[in-house]
Amino acid sequence: EILMTQSPATLSVSPGDRATLSCRASQSVSSRLAWYQQKPGQAPRLLIYGASTRATGVPARFSGSGSETEFTLTISSLQSEDFAVYYCQQYDKWPQTFGQGTKLEIK
Amino acid sequence: QVQLQQWGAGLLKPSETLSLTCAVYGGSFSGYHWNWIRQPPGKGLEWIGKIYHNGSTNYNPSLKSRLTISVEPSKYQFSLKLSSVTAADPAMYYCARGRLYEDFFSSWGQGTLVTVSS
């Protein structure tokens, strides 16, 4: 089973600033990596798939990059609604696995 | 736009069987696979298993011995049964849609909180 490690566990950023979240896979997952956003009391929401493709309706301030074992989610110019928990997920190897999440909080 | 609506018993005793159903509204049923994912309180996400419209399944090996996922294509519904629940099974359980050949999840149900208590 592939282990997905996200860092940092908590990230404090001011509104309007840029946030960079990292995700590392224990072995190569090619570009089969997705990112999700989860707000309190809500189901996760798909943001990015294929490491860099935004899902339908996702604002352009969200961007994903990386391949193989190292991936990054960047949120430029943070808005108040962006403060949430973010999860990465690999779907290259079965069973698909998730990271433990990064909590993005207001500084 | 597709919507997933789920329901089922939220309070179980140890050794009972967890049973949840998810209904799909507003989208194709055959062009996707249908998943169950859980999230223990304050923790991350765990994929449980999936089913295709033809009834073909894949289960997480960690749960396979206790797990049954079934489908009723004519009703656009799929169901989860997890037998012999223990103190390790309390979680928010979600149903979710996955695109064929891609195991990421583009639409999710609202979640059902399952508690296990004697």
Nearest CA in chain A to B101: A91
Measured CA angle at A51 (ends A27, B100), to 5 deg: 90
pLDDT in the model for residue B18: 98
Identify the segments of chain A with pLDDT beneath 70: none
pLDDT in the model for residue A75: 97
Q: Scanning the structure block, which residue is given the tokens 């996400």?
A: B45
* B42–A contact, CB cutoff 8 A: no
Measure the N-to-C terminal CA separation of chain A; round to a whole number of Å.
35
pLDDT in the model for residue B20: 98
pLDDT in the model for residue B100: 84
pLDDT in the model for residue A52: 98
B38-44 — which CB contacts under 8 Å span 24+ positions? Answer: B38/B91, B38/B92, B38/B93, B38/B94, B39/B91, B39/B92, B39/B94, B39/B111, B40/B90, B40/B91, B41/B90, B41/B91, B41/B92, B43/A100, B44/A87, B44/A98, B44/A99, B44/A100, B44/A101
Report residue A98 as tokens: 């998730």
Which of B45, B61, B110 is opposite residue A98, by nearest beta carbon? B45
Which of B46, B102, B111 is opposite residue A43, by nearest beta carbon? B111
Measured CA angle at B108 (ends B3, A75), to 5 deg: 115
- How far apart (Å, rounded) are the C-alpha atoms in residues B108 and A41? 13
Q: Please give, one letter per residue, the 3-state secondary structure of chain A.
A: CCCEEEECCEEEECCCCCEEEEEEECCCCCCCEEEEEECCCCCCEEEEECCCEECCCCCCCEEEEEECCEEEEEECCCCHHHCCEEEEEECCCCCCEECCCEEEEEC
* B72–A contact, CB cutoff 8 A: no
CA distance A55 to chain B (A): 8
Report residue A51 as tokens: 């490491």
Interface residue ranges in chain A relative to chain B, Cβ cutoff 8 Å: 32, 34, 36, 43-46, 49, 55, 87, 89, 91, 94-101
Mean pLDDT of chain B: 95
Query: pLDDT-derived band of residue B31, with 50, 70 and 90 as boundaries?
Result: confident
pLDDT digits (tens, 9 = 90+) for B65-114: 999 999 999 999 999 999 999 999 999 999 999 988 889 999 999 999 99
Cis peptide before B41 (omega within 30 of 0): no
CA distance A22 to chain B (A): 16
A56-65 — which CB contacts under 8 Å span 24+ positions? Answer: A62/A35, A64/A33, A64/A35
